[in-house]
Amino acid sequence: MKFGLILLVLILALSLVGTLIPQGEEVSVYQERYGAFAETLKTLQLDHIYTAWYFALLFGLLCLNLLLCSVLRGLGLKNAAGNLALRAETSKAEYPIRGKWLKGFHQTKEGVYTRHTVGLWGSFITHLGLLLLLISAGLVLSLQTKVDATLSPGETYTLSNGTVIEAQSFTLKNEAGETDYRTQLRATAPDGTVTEPVVAVNQPVTFGTDKLFQSSYNYTNPSVNVQVQMDDAPEALELDGEVFLSLDGTNGITYHGIYTNVAEDENGQVSPVTGSDEFNPGFLVTTRIDGVEATGIVYPDVTLECGGFFCTFRAPAEYPVLCVRSLPGWALPFLYVSFALLLAGLYLCFFVTPMAVSVRGDKMYVAGKPGADLSMLMEDTDWEEE
């Protein structure tokens, strides 16, 4: 028992360390936060403490300890009720008989009565429940899978239960201007039922055994709409690198790239801004007309005419990246049943007290589980007067 308590304290101490130190991050994160200690932290596997060899060893030893305790207590239950009755027959705790019958007691043999013998199972069920709880928790941690679902415009993602999800909209900030990632989903279940839940930071959504968390976001590639005449239907081209747009191969527009944040000074000059998280994009382009080139930054949705055609650049759109955590269907019910079994064992240990009474002549002799207050047991006993 003491060895088990020591193991439990060590596991709890390591778990506390695991909550204080971020788990599973890139090396750069630890170097930035912990400096020179980052290398030691990696060597000691404190960046993934729950899968470290020493945590698994302690966990396994604790499970083995609980298994042995459960087996020993289970073997002792075979004759537990009989032993309780025998202790009452040899007990020296003497009390006068106040009534003919003892309420709630059952006669096990001539002159011997017992009650609440189910309480003898309390210790065994508690150890068994704790063992199963640890095993189920370990299975949940080891069998849980994490996958990033990238929901770019027009794309869908199919969950393990067949539900198909797509992003209806995505916002980075709320109405107050505070950072608040929120994704409006459209989910189509296998039976055709459609729901539109919202996933936000600290506001996951569950579909069967899959749980969706708002993880991060990304940007689509910028694009450009090309028209020979302004009233023509635009041809949309995705810009995935430098490209020269031209009708005759000589005059046209060269797209070089995009700045995520640009600003205009008092002289009307537009230039990129660094060191800011704001998203105010601008396109770096060069126009060439009859051998004359001009380079500058163009805002989104501004139309340029060059070389006999029109170009309108479109800014990238944000789209969400969700973290999908999945578990086998039986894992959580197993965890809940184990926890319920542990609670049942604790209830039997603390609130159900087994007791035996041996009636000899005009006296009765009482026995309870070791450590029980026999005088209290007698006060709590209901009697039926003759």
Q: What is the DSSP string of 173-236?
A: E-TTS-EEEEEEEEEE-TTS-EE--EEETTB-EEETTEEEEEEEEEEPPPEEEEESSTTSPPEE
User: What's the rounded Cα separation, in Å, for the pair 71 and 131?
Assistant: 11
Tell me: pLDDT of 44 over 60.
Answer: yes
Which whole number is the average pLDDT over 167-176? 86
H or E element in which residue 80 lies? helix 80-89
User: What's the rounded Cα separation, in Å, for the pair 130 and 152?
Assistant: 44
Tokens encoding 233:
């239907």
pTM of the model: 0.61
Whether 324 and 199 share a structural domain? yes
106 with 115: CB under 8 angstroms? yes
Q: If pLDDT is split at 50, 70 and 90, which confidence band does 265 have?
A: confident
Q: How many domains does the chain have?
A: 3
Whether 298 and 324 share a structural domain? no
Tell me: pLDDT of 386 over 60.
Answer: no
DSSP-assigned letter for residue 120: G
Which whole number is the average pLDDT over 177-192? 90
Whether 206 and 237 share a structural domain? no
Torsion of CA 268, 269, 270, 271, to 10 degrees: -150
Mean pLDDT of the chain: 83
Whether 236 and 303 share a structural domain? yes
Q: Does residue 211 form part of some domain? A: yes
Return the exposure string of 327-348: e unless at least 16 CB atoms fall within 10 Å of the residue's CB, then b: beeebeebbeebbebbeebeeb
DSSP-assigned letter for residue 153: T
Whether 325 and 347 share a structural domain? no
Tell me: pLDDT of 121 over 80.
Answer: yes
Whether 131 and 154 share a structural domain? no
Tell me: pLDDT of 384 over 50.
Answer: no
Q: Does residue 297 form part of some domain? A: yes
Tokens encoding 245:
């747009």
Q: If pLDDT is split at 50, 70 and 90, which confidence band does 383 have?
A: very low
Whether 232 and 211 share a structural domain? no
Whether 245 and 365 share a structural domain? no
Range of the structural domain that residue 112 is part of:
79-142+342-386
**Tens of pLDDT along 331-370?**
888 989 999 999 999 999 888 888 888 887 777 777 776 5
Of all residues in the chain, the percent with pLDDT exceeding 90 is 20
Whether 84 and 137 share a structural domain? yes
Whether 157 and 121 share a structural domain? no
